[in-house]
Amino acid sequence: MTKICGNLIDTIGTNVYNQAIKGCGIMDGKYEILKKHFGYSSFRDGQEELIDALLKKRDVLGIMPTGAGKSLCYQVPAMMLDGITVVVSPLISLMKDQVSALVQQGISAAFINSSLSSAQYGKALQNLRLGVYKIVYVAPERLLTESFLALCSDIDIDLVAIDEAHCVSQWGQDFRPSYLDINKFIDALPRRPVIGAFTATATEVVRDDIVKILRLQDPLAITTGFDRPNLFFSVMKPSDKRKKLLSLLNERRGKSGIIYCSTRKKVEEICEFLNKNKITATRYHAGLTAEERRKNQDDFVYDRAPVIAATNAFGMGIDKSNVNFVIHFNMPKNLESYYQEAGRAGRDGTQADCILLYGKGDVRTAQFFIDNTEPNPNLSDEENRLFKEREEERLKHMTFYSTTTDCLRKYMLRYFGDKYKERCENCSNCLTNFEVADITVEAQKILSCIIRMQQRFGKSMVADVLRGKESDKPYNAWLSDLSTFGIMKDYPLREIRVLIDRLEELGYIKQDGEYPTLRITQKARPVLRGEETVIIKKTKAIKQREDDKRYAVDSALLAELKELRLKLARTRHVPAYVIFTDKTLINLCEVMPETEREFLSVSGVGEQKLKTYGKEFMEIIARYKAEP
């Protein structure tokens, strides 16, 4: 039971510790906890304000990107408040990882979900009643069970923290009906605790939903910004996606990454393809048994399989800090999903890659999923219609992100309503030198052709007519009589299709109907009349990306420290990053501590980890320094 529910400390010990912390005062206490248990000397942007508000019993809403330290915002107050903190979390894997990390940091914690046996569940409730745990993670489905509710009526709950709070909104990308039980749970408690809601991605509509549905009272709402400078964003448009994927993975041998695919079938194909090409990969999608999903996820988390191919069913709450890259083999249906999935890279703050392999078929696949989504029974017909319209609007923004020549980070930050620079110099578009091209004449030819084709055909047919390709269908024979037939016969087919895409992105044309046909917009009229020009940017050259500073330390020493970390992790049955993150190991290589005080100065090292692991790591460092 200890491995599942954490260290068993007695109630007296917990209370004495809390009183000692309180004696230091709130300001000193929170810094004491931050360093002692988590190994950090200062708070990140937004953390301290949210912590202070919770300690003053004020509700909060924290919107912070993945890797920004949301968990600390409720874990630190949990250690300082008299009562217990209940954390509502959507996934078993997240709870296990969070509890494992807390136990390694010397904090008593447990989780309650369907993975526990009856005996383990009973023991967890008993320990909770005895005050053994300061933090308990609970699946939303467990909140209203008779046994858990009865227990919560007898214990003192000071804080309820809701992780992945966007799941409460029907307009979010991960709506979960069980999240609507949170209010019923809070109403059933003898007194209302302070409420903290946290998420990584939320549009304005979803933010308003979170506040309204969870009934947050005068919440301190902080959005720390969506930018994560350590992530390199890239969009590629390869003619052969598999070949490009293999090349990208061969460049990243030995590193950990996720490959997202749009369908289960594609996951199976990619996983088989990679293993045939000697890249150890596993798979994850909802069509697998629960047992296989759990095994495959553990293989990835514990670094037995460095690569996992998965649908979007995988990833929410995965706390694996050393994900070096996320590659989307197919374009997601909206930027919210893309940002959340791509953001699973680089959680420890080291540089990581977010790569999207874009293809025209991706848009059709995403539209298919939107068209075939079952109506939400909790919404009216009108609300379901509006929801579909919003999904289509979000798909349009995702498509424009995938095809724009503008700064990718700027496009994303602007979409989320965040501040941005014109150029980030840390995305594939900013590293590409473009030249300005006037395509007014080409635009007029394409727009005229669409009109003469009575705005009844899609991109492929329009491109064929422009190139002068005869239709093999008798009822389309009239197309060859059009004045625009063959008017762009000297242009490669690929270039014509690119030009059509650019005109759509710029708003001169749009696609309509179940089988998308091209129609011109009012914006196109001045171009057709020769009153406006159309300017685009074309790729001229790609600048060399700066050398990766991620491992700008002695590789031999880093390899030894990683080997020790893996050995310790397997002995303790926890993921390697729970011992120390890659960022901490890199910092160890930079500092090369010889004393306990120097070891404590390393980011991510607290007193508990110094006591548990310091001697073995310092022995390797000392031996390395002694070598000639």
CA 10 to chain centre: 38
Task: Single out the residue of 455, 576, 557, 469 nearest to residue 512, CA to CA.
Answer: 455
CA torsion 248→253→255→258, rounded to 10°?
40
Give the percent of the chain with pLDDT over 90: 45
End-to-end CA distance of the chain: 47
Say which range, 372-376, 418-422, 518-522, 551-555, has the weakest mean pLDDT: 551-555
Q: What is the pLDDT of residues 123-164, one digit of tens each?
A: 989 988 888 999 999 989 989 999 999 999 889 999 999 998
Q: What is the pLDDT of residues 518-546, one digit of tens each?
A: 999 999 999 999 999 998 877 665 665 65
Is the full-model pTM beyond 0.75?
Answer: no
Does 550 score more than 60 pLDDT?
A: no
How confident is the model at residue 484, as a pLDDT?
A: 94
Q: What is the mean pLDDT of the chain?
A: 86
Does 76 score more than 90 pLDDT?
A: yes
Q: CA-CA distance, 187 to 185, in Å (whole number)?
A: 5
CB atoms within 10 A of CB 480: 13
Task: Single out the residue of 375, 328, 324 nearest to residue 347, CA to CA.
Answer: 324
Domains for the chain: give ranges and CATH numbers.
Answer: 2-223 (3.40.50.300), 231-431 (3.40.50.300), 434-542 (1.10.10.10), 555-626 (1.10.150.80)
Q: Cα Rg for the chain, rounded, in angstroms?
A: 27
Q: How many helices (H) and strands (E) does the chain have?
A: 26, 17
Q: CA-CA distance, 369 to 262, in Å (whole number)?
A: 10
Phi-psi region of 486 (alpha: psi -120 to 50; beta: other; left: phi over 0): left
Does 42 score more than 90 pLDDT?
A: no
Q: CA-CA distance, 115 to 162, in Å (whole number)?
A: 20
Does 374 score more than 90 pLDDT?
A: no
- How distant, in Å, are the alpha carbons of 228, 558, 590, 614 from that of 347? 10, 19, 20, 23
